[in-house]
């Protein structure tokens, strides 16, 4: 009897220190061994709900289908992104192309370069009235509008928009005096001497043209145009090409290339043997992207002046740009495809966090499990499904970064598609952008580029008999939002301090106030009586700083 009691106590003592683990979900391995599975998708919080148990398999399949769809689209996105990186590698193409090598650094070629044609190849040096050398004063400047009045001229292309708005033009200084002038005087002495000559003869087209060169060196486009207008007005037909070339180059350097081409074409028609006019119009056609026409004028320039090295360099630069234009077209097409793929990817990816949360809410989890924590949801789903969700999360973050930059101000499809020489700058910007994203794509989570509203995982409602729709990939995932009509307590009148009294503008926040305020309830607000009572001008008007308020910021002071 005593032995039986001791045996029972010994068994109870052993059981007290033993831990027993049980499982109600089992799986058969490949070798036929039956083993328990602790992380089971069917270990549900409501195991007695038969319909929820049957729908769990649909949820399980939908998660795998969505994951596989995202992986498939990610492969296509990676391929397009690699193509963009290969197409934007302009340096390799320049290094491998003979024309680009002969042109040198294509990105730094000055397509606005001009020769200051002083007309010395047509006019006898005695007509310039140049002193040799000049040591006079340098206080006067050749302001052509003060020297003579010219309201309108039939020869000055007054119908062009840039000519009508010539007072708004700007151009960079050209810094180099003509070869005829530079050996004998400085730029200030040159201007003083020209002023004296024009005061003695206010109808000399040659000295008006030289005054235009003076203002081109100074970088004043409006004054240079005024002098060129008078030079065109007074010049004989045989010399008009000289004044037309100067006027066209001022317009070209001011960014009015289309109008400059009209003027420079007239200069070429007046004297087809002037290589300076051919070179200037070739540069203008290059800027607007008319490469075939510019090559034709470069050939004429070299035919008239075969030793002009600048024209040779510019010609090879145009040939290089024609080949880069093909690359630009490929970049645009690839970026458009990439944008479409990213949009489709984002629509499907937006369902992913919500689908995970819905699935996890049906499982038997600990009481402290936070469904709003996407990181914990991903770790839990990785343990249950065996999918590499962490890798998927990294890909999603990188895709968000790529989409932000493609749709943002860093990239402009309109600028890339614009013909001309500016597209190469966009390519170089894209090349730096791609390098930055590839280098810092893994840190995308640390950078906030949120463009859509986040999904509120805490408000997902899972009914006792949940079901998955037939189409698990909706076209658009709409986040759950909640509106509230609660008003925050306002400050008492004693707490309010006028910024005009302190001199400090105390704007608490620029956040848009979307609560329903009093003035929204009154249909006829403000009333006529209120407008009559309110003062027309605010007090302390000098202290008011003008601030731009967007239309949606109604209610912010």
DSSP SS3 for 35: strand
Most confident of 136-140, 222-226, 462-466, 487-491: 222-226
CA atoms 198, 116, 300, 284: torsion sign = negative
Please check whether residue 365 is in contact with residue 94, taking contact to mean a CB–CB distance below 8 angstroms: no
- Smallest CA-to-CA distance from 280 within 514, 157, 113, 43 is with 113
Question: Does position 454 have pLDDT exceeding 70, yes or no?
Answer: no
380 falls within a domain: no
Tell me the sheet residues that pair with 27. 35
286 — pLDDT class (breaks 50, 70, 90): very high
Q: Do 134 and 28 belong to one domain? A: no
Mean pLDDT rounded to a whole number for the chain? 79
281 — pLDDT class (breaks 50, 70, 90): very high
- Smallest CA-to-CA distance from 437 within 403, 476, 387 is with 403
Question: Does position 39 have pLDDT exceeding 70, yes or no?
Answer: no
Across the range 417-424, mean pLDDT stands at 81
DSSP labels, 69-124: HHHHHHHHHHHHHHHHHHHT-HHHHHHH-HHHHHH--GGG--TT------STTTS-
Tell me the sheet residues that pair with 28. 34
Q: Do 15 and 152 belong to one domain? A: no
Q: Do 240 and 140 belong to one domain? A: yes
Q: Do 267 and 124 belong to one domain? A: yes
Structure-token match 């045989």, residue found:
238
Distance CA 375, CA 355 (A): 14
More confident residue, 7 or 128: 128
495 — pLDDT class (breaks 50, 70, 90): very low
Domain termination residue (choose one: 244, 273, 302): 273
pLDDT at 71: 93
Question: Does position 311 have pLDDT exceeding 70, yes or no?
Answer: yes
**Contacts for 357 with CB less than 8 Å, ≥ 6 apart:** 371, 377, 457, 460
pLDDT in tens, 85-120: 888 888 887 888 899 999 988 888 999 998 888 888
For residue 34, give the H/E element and its range.
strand 34-36
pLDDT at 508: 45
For 146, the domain range is: 118-273
Q: Do 28 and 152 belong to one domain? A: no
Give the rounded percent of residues in the chain with a pLDDT score beyond 70: 73
Across the range 193-208, mean pLDDT stands at 94
- Smallest CA-to-CA distance from 99 within 89, 109, 88, 86 is with 109
Question: Does position 452 have pLDDT exceeding 50, yes or no?
Answer: no
123 — pLDDT class (breaks 50, 70, 90): confident
467 — pLDDT class (breaks 50, 70, 90): very low
Domain termination residue (choose one: 237, 256, 273): 273
pLDDT at 178: 82
Across the range 335-356, mean pLDDT stands at 90
55 — pLDDT class (breaks 50, 70, 90): confident
pLDDT at 410: 65
pLDDT at 131: 79
Across the range 316-321, mean pLDDT stands at 94
pLDDT at 480: 42
Structure-token match 């109600």, residue found:
24
Across the range 245-249, mean pLDDT stands at 96
- Smallest CA-to-CA distance from 250 within 369, 114, 133 is with 114
Question: Does position 546 have pLDDT exceeding 70, yes or no?
Answer: no
Cis amide linkage into residue 526, ω under 30° from 0: yes
526 falls within a domain: yes
205 — pLDDT class (breaks 50, 70, 90): very high
Question: Does position 555 have pLDDT exceeding 70, yes or no?
Answer: no
Q: Do 251 and 136 belong to one domain? A: yes
Q: Do 129 and 265 belong to one domain? A: yes
Please check whether residue 373 is in contact with residue 305, taking contact to mean a CB–CB distance below 8 angstroms: no
pLDDT at 17: 59
How many domains in the chain?
3
Q: Do 264 and 123 belong to one domain? A: yes
pLDDT at 1: 61
Q: Do 24 and 122 belong to one domain? A: no
201 falls within a domain: yes
What global pTM score does this model have? 0.66
Out of 220-229, 256-265, 414-423, least confident range: 414-423
Q: Do 131 and 222 belong to one domain? A: yes
pLDDT at 401: 87
pLDDT at 541: 62
Q: Do 148 and 20 belong to one domain? A: no
203 falls within a domain: yes
Domain termination residue (choose one: 232, 255, 273): 273
449 falls within a domain: no
Q: Do 125 and 260 belong to one domain? A: yes
pLDDT at 19: 57
pLDDT at 93: 79
CA atoms 454, 457, 458, 462: torsion sign = positive
Count of Cβ atoms closer than 10 Å to residue 150 Cβ = 15
Question: Does position 457 have pLDDT exceeding 60, yes or no?
Answer: no
Please give, one letter per residue, the 3-state secondary structure of 502-515: HCCCCCCCCCCCCC
Distance CA 104, CA 480 (A): 58
More confident residue, 488 or 233: 233
302 falls within a domain: no
197 — pLDDT class (breaks 50, 70, 90): very high
331 falls within a domain: no
266 falls within a domain: yes
């Amino acid at each position: 009897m005593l032995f039986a009691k001791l045996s029972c106590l010994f068994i109870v003592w052993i059981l007290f220190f033993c831990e027993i683990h049980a499982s109600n979900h089992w799986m058969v391995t490949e070798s036929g061994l039956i083993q328990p599975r602790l992380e089971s998708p069917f270990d549900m919080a409501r195991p007695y709900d038969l319909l929820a148990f049957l729908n769990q398999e649909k949820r399980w399949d939908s998660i795998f289908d969505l994951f596989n769809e995202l992986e498939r689209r990610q492969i296509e996105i990676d391929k397009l992104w690699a193509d963009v990186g290969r197409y934007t590698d302009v340096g390799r193409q320049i290094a491998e192309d003979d024309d680009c090598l002969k042109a040198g650094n294509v990105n730094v070629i000055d397509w606005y370069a001009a020769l200051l044609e002083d007309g010395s190849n047509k006019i006898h040096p005695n007509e310039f009235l140049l002193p040799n050398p000049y040591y006079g004063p340098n206080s006067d400047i050749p302001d052509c509008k003060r020297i003579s009045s010219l309201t309108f001229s039939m020869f000055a292309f007054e119908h062009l928009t840039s000519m009508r708005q010539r007072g708004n033009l700007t151009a960079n200084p050209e810094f180099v005096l003509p070869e005829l002038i530079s050996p004998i005087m400085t730029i200030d002495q040159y201007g003083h001497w020209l002023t004296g000559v024009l005061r003695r003869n206010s109808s000399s087209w040659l000295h008006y043209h030289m005054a235009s060169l003076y203002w081109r060196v100074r970088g004043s486009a409006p004054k240079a145009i005024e002098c060129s207008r008078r030079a065109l007005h007074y010049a004989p037909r045989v010399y008009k090409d000289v004044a037309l070339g100067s006027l066209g180059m001022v317009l070209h350097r001011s960014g009015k290339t289309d109008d400059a081409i009209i003027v420079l074409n007239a200069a070429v028609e007046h004297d087809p043997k002037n290589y300076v006019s051919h070179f200037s119009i070739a540069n203008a056609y290059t800027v607007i992207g008319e490469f075939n026409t510019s090559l034709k004028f470069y050939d004429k320039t070299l035919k008239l002046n075969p030793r002009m090295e600048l024209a040779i360099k510019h010609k090879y630069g145009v040939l290089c740009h024609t080949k880069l234009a093909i690359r630009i077209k490929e970049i645009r097409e690839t970026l458009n495809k990439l944008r479409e793929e990213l949009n489709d990817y984002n629509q499907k990816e937006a369902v992913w966090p919500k689908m995970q949360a819905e699935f996890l809410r049906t499982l038997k989890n600990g009481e402290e499990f936070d469904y709003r924590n996407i990181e914990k949801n991903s770790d839990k789903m990785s343990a249950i499904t065996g999918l590499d969700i962490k890798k998927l999360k990294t890909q999603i973050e990188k895709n968000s970064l790529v989409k932000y930059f493609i749709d943002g101000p860093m990239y402009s499809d309109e600028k890339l598609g614009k013909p001309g020489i500016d597209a190469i700058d966009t390519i170089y910007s894209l090349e730096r952008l791609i390098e930055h994203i590839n280098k810092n794509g893994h840190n995308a989570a640390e950078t906030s580029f949120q463009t859509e509203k986040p999904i509120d995982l805490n408000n997902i409602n899972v009914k006792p008999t949940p079901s998955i729709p037939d189409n698990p990939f909706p076209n658009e995932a709409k986040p759950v939002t909640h509106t509230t009509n609660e008003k925050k307590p306002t400050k008492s009148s004693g707490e309010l301090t006028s910024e005009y009294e302190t001199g400090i503008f105390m704007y608490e926040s620029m956040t848009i106030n979307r609560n329903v305020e009093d003035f929204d309830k009154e249909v006829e607000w403000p009333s006529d009586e209120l407008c009559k009572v309110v003062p027309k001008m605010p007090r302390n008007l000098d202290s008011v700083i003008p601030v731009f308020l967007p239309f949606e910021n109604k209610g912010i002071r």
